[in-house]
Amino acid sequence: MLMALVSAAVGTGVGFPGVAAADPPPPPPPPPLNLNALTSVKPSDFAMQNGEYYAFAVPGDIACAISRRSGNYGCTGPLPAAPDGANAVTGGQQGPPAFLNDNRPLFGFDGLPNRLLPGSRISFRNVTCGTDGTVTMCSNSYDGAGFALTPGSSYILGVNNPLLLNTGEGRNPFAN
């Protein structure tokens, strides 16, 4: 008798509510690059604007530069999944960089600069930027702060913190 009632309930659409399967969590970001393991390039091969900048293009047609005057560095262009739709990220010789939106490019280059090839890095003063062809990372050796650009996210690397976690908020949650 019980079996008949259960069969009737299921057959008429009465029964237990279904349990919806949750979407799987997004995959974690790629691990940070070991910039020191990448091949160093000759900075003068990337000199632009009368040597004022060492400029280079990275995957995603993003233009990056390191200022020879101040040592400041940054990238501008279509930053993947940057917080608040930012189109630029800039940093200095120490301290964490910041994302920003600007209605003009950070650098006045005619087109993209020379490409930084996968597996290479460029350094000036205490700033190093490199790419493996998928992930691009820049950081300063003073306190370890920097940023990472990956196909699925762009985020800040906190001061003295090599551990990364993509929170979707464009920052490293381990850093204050």
Is 1 contained in some domain? no
State the total domains in the chain: 1
Is 21 contained in some domain? no
Residues of the chain with pLDDT under 50: 1-11, 13-16, 161-176
Is 46 contained in some domain? yes
Residue 28: its pLDDT value, please? 60
Instruction: Spell out the residues 6+ positions from residue 158 whose beta carbon is closer than 8 angstroms to its own.
Output: 96, 144, 145, 171, 172, 174, 175, 176
Beta strands at 39-40 and 120-124: parallel, antiparallel or unpaired: parallel
Domain that holds residue 105: 41-157
Is 17 contained in some domain? no
Residue 91: its pLDDT value, please? 94
Is 54 contained in some domain? yes
pLDDT, mean over the chain: 80
Is 16 contained in some domain? no
Residue 19: its pLDDT value, please? 52
Report CA dihedral (78, 81, 87, 89) to the nearest 10 degrees: -120
Is 102 contained in some domain? yes
Residue 175: its pLDDT value, please? 45
Is 18 contained in some domain? no
Residue 72: its pLDDT value, please? 94
Largest CA distance in the chain: 91
